Amino acid sequence: MSIFELEKPDMSEAGWSWFKNQEDDIQKQMVGLYGKANYPKYLYWDKIKHFDFPDKIRPIDFWVFTRRMRKTVHSPKTSLVKSENSTYFSWIMLEKYHYWISEFDKVLAGSFSSLQQSDDYKNRIIKVKWVMEESIASAQLEGAHTTRDAAKKMLQEDRKPKNNSEQMIINNYKTMLAIENEFNSIKLDRSALFQMHEMLVKDTDIKEGDLGRFRTDADKVMVMDTSDGTIYHIPPKESFLQAEIDRLLAYANDEIIDPEYVHPIIKAIIIHFWIGYLHPFVDGNGRLARALFYWYLIKQGYWGISLLPLSVMIKKSPKQYGMAYVYSEQDDNDLTYFIDYNMRKLKQAKEFLDSHIERQRQDENALAGIQDKFNNRQTKLIIHLAKNPNSHTTIKTHSTIYQISRITAKKDLANLQETGYLRSNKIGREVRYYPTDKLKQASTKNSITL
């Protein structure tokens, strides 16, 4: 086993004075390259050294220039997250974040958001869908071995898990629902943290004795790539953990605040990082960190945050996610790396959601002649079956997806069967509902995007 260490360039022969002595055109080129070092991604030396530099600009000189600019011109904010060597993590409020946060606020917290003003059932349908997606992806990030389709079917059918991976997903799903409905109004103390952690890891392969307690030095917990044994993070000593966890909880409860204003979305990301850095439990720390991100924002009035599938986006670049922690920890406690990664993923999640909602709107408009006869749940089901003609649904599945009673679910399906859009077939004790030719013809005629 070896501990991963970032490449540290030799800066002994580089300096700030070099830049000040250059002609105006070189200075302008340096400033232009500096923009590339921060946008679209906030980059470290290992990426910056590969820029296409003009002949008169050495990579090492530009890196010194970049570090100097980041530490002076941008006026880094000192966070309340303390490292084990007693220094504090700091971060930069990059210009791009102001615009992104404005967009997030309008969609996820604004009272005039089109999402919030939409039909209650439609809102609930969208939320349940993305809570499922988030639960699956968050578990897969931590090693759950199952396909998205199989996991989603398990949740929709509300069946019992068959293995550890499925149990992780169900635990995530139940925890996310609990955050929406129960944890959103409580104070996050040690007891609540233990409760949330147990919900996430219960009945998985974690040892019974590891529940309801923080890790100790004897547990020898570390973040490692199991494929090659490389260690990416060794959590702080248990004495440091015990001292800092209460500060983290007070911070999450807004009982201690940052010296300068920090937007709730940035603060939620900082809480996410802080849990990951302290790594308070033997297992489940990543899932807990992402759950607390949602918990904090829901508590702050961001009713729509669970619509953004953050883990789905993170799963597209899991190595970059891990490296965001490493860069922040190993490059002079610069928390901007982690904040930048998560902000970009939230932006991607919002764009993904916007695209999904637009497709749904087009499909619903295509059914304009039909949907007047049915409620939103039934319309969604017609669209789903039109796109998946070999699939079926049941009363239990319909009830789970749309968070309604079995009686209401039964009425929905019976009505669709009476009007000729569904046919039923009893298999054992279960009644399955399949799309009919009438439904398929209606979807083709109305141009549902398959």
Same domain? For 338 and 376 the reply is no
Residue with tokens 């298999």: 427
Asked if residue 123 belongs to a domain, the reply is yes
Mean pLDDT value of segment 409-429: 93
317, part of any domain:
yes
333 and 283: one domain?
yes
Note the pLDDT of residue 121: 46
Question: Mean pLDDT, to the nearest integer, of 162-170?
Answer: 96
CATH number for position 312: 1.10.3290.10
The CA distance from 366 to 348, in Å, is 27
DSSP 13-79: T--HHHHHTS-HHHHHHHHHHHHHHHSSS---HHHHTTS---TT--HHHHHHHHHHHHHHTT-PEEE
Domain boundary among 314, 346, 378: 346
Per the domain annotation, does 278 fall within a domain?
yes
Asked, for residue 430, whether it belongs to a domain, the answer is: yes
Q: Residues 22, 144: one domain?
A: no
Chosen domain end from 298, 314, 346: 346
Query: Residue by residue, what is the 3-state secondary structure of 302-342?
Result: CCCHHHCCHHHHHCCCHHHHHHHHHHHHHCCCECHHHHHHH
Of residues 227 and 273, more confidently modeled: 273
37-56: pLDDT as tens digits = 999 999 999 999 999 998 88
Residues 206, 336, single domain; the answer is yes
In this predicted structure, what is the pLDDT of residue 442? 72
What angle separates helix 285-299 from helix 120-141, to the nearest 10 degrees?
A: 150
Asked, for residue 22, whether it belongs to a domain, the answer is yes
Q: Clarify whether residues 181 and 227 are in a common domain.
A: yes
- Residue 88 in any domain: the answer is no
pLDDT number for residue 115: 55
Q: What is the pLDDT of residue 443?
A: 66
**Residue 361 belongs to some domain of the structure:** no
Q: Tell me what pLDDT residue 184 has.
A: 86
Residue 123 reports pLDDT greater than 60: no
- Quick check: 34 and 26 in contact, CB under 8 A? no
Domain count for the chain, please give it.
3
State whether 335 and 384 are in the same domain. Answer: no
pLDDT digits (tens, 9 = 90+) for 124-152: 566 777 899 999 999 999 999 999 999 99
Structural domain of 236: 96-346
- 283-337 pLDDT, tens digit each: 999 999 999 999 999 999 998 898 888 999 999 999 999 999 999 999 999 999 9
**Higher model confidence: residue 193 or residue 158?**
193
CATH of residue 380's domain is: 1.10.10.10
Residue 226 has pLDDT above 90, yes or no: no
| Domain finish residue from 24, 42, 73 | 73
- For range 218-243, the mean pLDDT: 95
Structure tokens at 50: 């590969």
Identify the band that residue 20 occupies on the pLDDT scale cut at 50, 70 and 90. Answer: low
Give the pLDDT of residue 108.
Answer: 86
With beta carbons less than 8 A apart as the criterion, state whether 377 and 416 touch.
no
Give the pLDDT confidence of 91-120 residue by residue, as tens digits.
Answer: 999 999 999 999 999 888 865 455 554 555
Same domain, 26 and 162: no
Task: Examine the domain organization and report whether 395 and 342 are in the same domain.
Answer: no
pLDDT score recorded for residue 401: 86
**Are residue 227 and residue 109 in the same domain, yes or no?**
yes
Q: Are residues 340 and 397 in the same domain?
A: no
* One domain for residues 171 and 119: yes
Measured CA to CA, the distance from residue 224 to residue 33 in angstroms comes to: 34
Report the predicted TM-score, pTM, of the whole model to 2 decimal places: 0.89
182-191 residue pLDDT tens: 898 899 999 9
Structural domain contains residue 220: yes
| The predicted structure's pLDDT at residue 181 | 87
Residues 258 and 200 in one domain: yes
